[in-house]
Amino acid sequence: MKKNFWIKIDPFSEKLITAAIESGASAVFVPEKNFEDIKKIAKIEILGKKKGDKILGKDFEIVKIKSKDDEKKVEELKGKIPCIIENIDWTVIPLENLISKTSNLIQTVKNSQEAEIALEIMERGADGIFLDTDSVNEIKKTGEIFQKFLTPKLKLKKAKITSIKPVSMSDRCCIDTTSLLSPGSGMLIGNSSKAFFLVHNENVESKFCAARPFRVNAGAVHAYIFLPENKTKYLCEISSGDEVIVCDFEGNTRKVVVGRNKIERRPMILVEAKIENKKISLVLQNAETIRLTATNGKPISITTLKKGDEVLVFLGNEKGRHFGEEICETISEK
């Protein structure tokens, strides 16, 4: 379930609204008389008691936790709509109790420290936070902490190259993002939805072309790309506005937005590797600017790649996929 970052701003403050938007808040709860003021600043989802993008009692609920009976009120919602939990005194026990029984829990917090506890408690955390503060600094600190919980740290492994073989002309995808990508990072792409190579971004200059630090030349149109919330898509399905995961060589991940997906016909190469007695592969454009990632984070051009080289990969579990979602089904991909 996607985690929510909601902020209560009452009384209205343009300074706090601006900080909320810049910190990645997904919605704000403000007095209804100020709805039009927000729309003049930027587009963001508005929570309201009687009107708004989400309306109290219909699209979300608020429950003050004073006793076990109040916890039962939350349980009775059965996670069908988000429920903001308000505690009389900050304590983790009610949230722990509810996490074990239901979902769609939005914990009210006063500061970034409480937010971090709420998001990591019981290794699952609340499904979101509702920050109630009049401090710009706390909004920014909480936003930074929240971003860390949006995508997981992945355990990358090393695979040994077994074959590099040119193949016929094919359609390939260049994923151009709206962010600058750092050295040692890229996207997780694979011929199979169970195994992904870390394809390095194009922030490396060469004598043939300038660096393109916003781009990953990801591979052939049929390949899978690993996405937020443990989902996948075919590369040809990625389009402007989509969110994709960028991963660095240590497994740290973050979301970035796609600016465009450039699909062009190019000569290609089939790269095969082996890990844990499993054969994995990926079809990439046959050009020196396309690089995989070594175990030390350095990019390796596929034109210099050779049998026995070690590169970073991510192995998913053994479940199959249907429209990008994991399913318990036997699927063989070769």
Distance (Å, whole) CA 249 – CA 199 = 10
Q: Which domains does the chain have, with CATH numbers?
A: 4-148 (3.20.20.70), 157-327 (2.170.16)
> Do 261 and 174 form a contact (C-beta atoms < 8 A)?
yes
Chain centroid to CA 102: 23
Chain centroid to CA 245: 5
The amino acid at residue 96 is E
pLDDT tens over the chain, length 334 residues: 679 999 999 999 999 999 999 999 999 999 999 999 998 898 999 999 999 999 999 999 999 999 999 999 999 999 999 999 998 877 788 899 999 999 999 999 999 999 999 999 988 899 999 999 999 999 999 999 998 888 889 999 999 999 999 999 999 999 999 999 999 999 999 999 999 999 999 998 877 778 999 999 999 999 999 999 899 999 999 999 999 999 999 999 999 999 999 999 999 999 999 998 899 999 999 999 999 999 999 999 999 999 999 999 999 865 554 444 555 555 666 6
Q: What are phi and psi of 250, to 5 degrees?
A: -95, 0
Pairing of the two strands 4-8 and 128-132: parallel
> Do 271 and 166 form a contact (C-beta atoms < 8 A)?
no
> Do 115 and 109 form a contact (C-beta atoms < 8 A)?
yes
pLDDT per residue as tens digits for the range 105-132: 999 999 999 999 999 998 889 999 999 9
